Amino acid sequence: MRTRPPRTHARRSALAAAVAAAATVAVLALPQQAGAAESSPVGFGAGTTGGGSASAVTVSTLSAFKSAVAGSTAKVVKVSGTIPLSGQVDIGANTTVLGVGSSSGFTGGGLRLKNVGNVVLRNLNISKAVGTDAITVQGSTKVWIDHNSLSSDRDHGKDYYDGLLDITHASDYVTVSWNTFKDHYKGSLAGHSDSNASEDTGHLRVTYHHNWFNNVNSRIPSLRFGTGHFYDNYVVGADTAVHSRMGAQMLVENNVFRSTKVAVTTNRDSETDGYANLRGNDLGGATTEISQSGSFTSPPYGYSAEAASSVASSVTAGAGAGKI
């Protein structure tokens, strides 16, 4: 009878490495669960790291928060509980702001990123920012806004609150993913004015994916001059959703629209129309107003768009604070 030679240390190491490699391949082959949080942004905001691996500091008061987010050194700031605001707090460069648990964040005001780079905002509840935006991104690059819950109410006039998320003044390379936008008139504006072409042209590259817009009247989003990729989003109860204007290029892909009047328009409100290409969407009876299709059909980054048939279930299960 043949006897098996004893396993040497080298053979055992080789076997262990082979098993580990096979396990890694198996894990990589598994599909991502619906709503599973990415560890880094997909889309135009790819490469945004915020505070990276800096030691986190946890704050629960406005004064501590303002101090913690100031400056441009790498920092991770965790917000515990709900902090009342009036107006906005400026966030410094190279910052991650992360809500603790499912209900931490801000009410009454919002956050502003002005002329900064490399900022991550995640897992925050921001509600009822009176007279201002819940989040303003102004003149800033490399931004990731992920798994936040942004809301107000529609009991007041449309200008009582401003936008839930406005991206302006040549901001660039932004990803907006897995957020909820709820009970609001003006959802997300990218490019604030028809007369700002000299500053905005060549910028305002924004990806929106897996967001849930629920009872938001319009600007889902409204984009001027820039390049927008809007995929795998769930829109419910809008008057006018995606609005491409002033020569903006939009790719609108595999989204679901329900109880929405106009899903996509390129020819409203501005003197110059925008461009839009549509593919794989479930319009749910909504109309479209496409005066011109554009040249933006292939985003310059890797991504995987799930079919529209599964978008509503994955987005409602996975979007918003408390889902990471």
Nearest to 89 by CA among 149, 148, 133: 133
Report the run of H or E that residue 57 belongs to, with start and end. Answer: strand 56-59
Please state, in angstroms and rounded to a whole number, the distance separating the CA atoms of residues 92 and 113. 7
DSSP string computed for 106-147: EEEEEEEEES-EEEEEES-EEE--BTS-SEEEES-EEEEEES
Query: Quick check: is 219 catalytic?
Result: yes
Nearest to 281 by CA among 216, 217, 233: 233
With H, G, I as helix, E, B as strand and everything else as coil, classify residue 97. strand
Distances (CA, A) of 244 to 111, 143, 218, 259: 26, 21, 12, 20
Cβ-proximal residues to 7 (8 Å cutoff; 6+ apart), any chain: 15
CA distance from start to end of the chain: 57
The number of beta carbons lying within 10 Å of the beta carbon of residue 299 is: 18
Task: Given the residues 122, 219, 224, 245, select the one marked as catalytic.
Answer: 219
Cβ-proximal residues to 46 (8 Å cutoff; 6+ apart), any chain: 40, 173, 175, 301
Q: Which two tokens stand for residue 316?
A: 């409602």
Sign of CA dihedral 255, 96, 317, 310: positive
Catalytic residues: 219
